[in-house]
Amino acid sequence: MNNETSNPASQPSAIADTSSIVDGLAQLSYVIQSVLGRSGAVYDLSPIQLRLLGILRDREPSMKQLAERLELDKSSITGLIDRAERRHLVERIPSPEDRRGFHVRLTPDGRRIAREIGGEIERRIGELVGVLTEAERGQLALLALKVAEVRKV
Amino acid sequence: MNNETSNPASQPSAIADTSSIVDGLAQLSYVIQSVLGRSGAVYDLSPIQLRLLGILRDREPSMKQLAERLELDKSSITGLIDRAERRHLVERIPSPEDRRGFHVRLTPDGRRIAREIGGEIERRIGELVGVLTEAERGQLALLALKVAEVRKV
DNA sequence: ACTTTTTAGTTTGTCTCACAAACAATATAG
DNA sequence: CTATATTGTTTGTGAGACAAACTAAAAAGT
């Protein structure tokens, strides 16, 4: 959620005040998404297209694997890849071990754009975390990855 | 972006390795958005509708102010509020000081749902940050808010 | 006062994105 | 070798976003 008063009774909860971290993380995620969105917009990429490129940088997943990773319906992946393919960002590769399936791969164009956007994002995020000290940045990176890793299990 | 190799030249950059924090924050933000998304889905709310409710918890902004805060075109706000109003989550209040304008307010229904979802989110985020120690959670909350605050200036 | 210009919001038209259900083709189990 | 499951597409529907044209009201100029 978005504000301070998430704890209705506002009793200083015995264990810990969870509402503070909830707000902090929610706010932070909106800010990050906004930065990513603006970075993608420079190359006329929607948030989901941007995320797709990010995933494909070091993988050639099947349509199904993409659906799982993106938590989207398989039919949504069809459309997503159709549009990306139309823009020559990715291509479908017939799967050698399953004649029903495809793997999705960045085209050279897609890889170039992914690299360029990567730089764009790095600059903008760098600017954003400029308010932190070097030590704080390290800490934040560590904690962020630690939390994000949970999902991968 | 999404992986390790964001620094093209990969020289151990003199100042600091920004790619680690970029990846960490990006990954974290996707995870948080996913949690928020699933929480909203319980009440059949899209991410943007959820965010709208969060904002309206302690504000009654004009359409224009909503557009600014959500970084959306004003015409997008018209549709967003139309749909939310159709579901009796919010209502348009004629602005007393400007006969062209409206303020947007949660209905009692909307407020109740916002409260319930708040609890839902709190549980899920709590679960997510369960991997951290109490001290780490405090630190993360602090750093997250510190970074998020930048945008408000 | 009364035009001109801005501003707040809506309408219309067009795309992207997401889902669900029905389908085709292939793979796997019985 | 038939029955069932899986991979991906198609079709149809709705939310969500934008841009351009529009309406009504407010603010600025003169």
**pLDDT tens-digit map of B59-112:** 999 999 999 999 999 999 999 999 999 999 999 999 999 999 999 999 999 999
Is B153 part of the contact surface with chain A (CB cutoff 8 Å)?
Answer: no
**Residue keyed to tokens 């924050």:** B25
CA distances from residue A40 to A49, B24, B78, B115 in whole angstroms, order as listed: 8, 18, 25, 33
Enumerate the residues of chain B whose CB falls inside 8 A of the CB of residue A113. none
**pLDDT tens-digit map of B2-60:** 433 333 433 344 445 677 899 999 999 999 999 999 999 999 999 999 999 999 999 99
Collapsing DSSP to helix, strand or coil, A104 comes out as strand
Q: Which domains does chain B have, with CATH numbers?
A: 18-150 (1.10.10.10)
DSSP bridge partners of A19: none
Q: Are A148 and B24 in contact (CB under 8 A)?
A: yes
Cα B24 from chain centre: 18
CA distances from residue A18 to A8, A46, B53, B66 in whole angstroms, order as listed: 12, 33, 20, 27
Per cent of chain A over pLDDT 70 is: 87
Q: Are B138 and A139 in contact (CB under 8 A)?
A: no
Nearest to B3, CA basis, from A37, A106, A91: A106
Whole-angstrom distance, CA of residue A70 vs CA of residue B22: 19
With CA atoms as reference, the chain B residue closest to A144 would be B24
Q: Is B15 exposed, middle or buried (0-12, 13-18, 19+ CB in 10 A)?
A: exposed
Tokens (6 digits) for A133: 């000290």
Q: Which nucleotides of C are covered by protein (CB under 7 A)?
A: 7-13, 16-22, 24-28
With CA atoms as reference, the chain A residue closest to B119 would be A6
Indicate yes or no: CB of B32 within 8 angstroms of CB of A27: no
Q: Are B47 and B107 in contact (CB under 8 A)?
A: no
**pLDDT tens-digit map of A88-132:** 999 999 999 999 999 999 999 999 999 999 999 999 999 999 999
Q: How many CB atoms lie within 10 A of CB A29?
A: 22
What pTM did the predictor assign?
Answer: 0.87
Enumerate the residues of chain A whose CB falls inside 8 A of the CB of residue B128. 147, 150
Nearest to A80, CA basis, from A111, A55, A113: A55
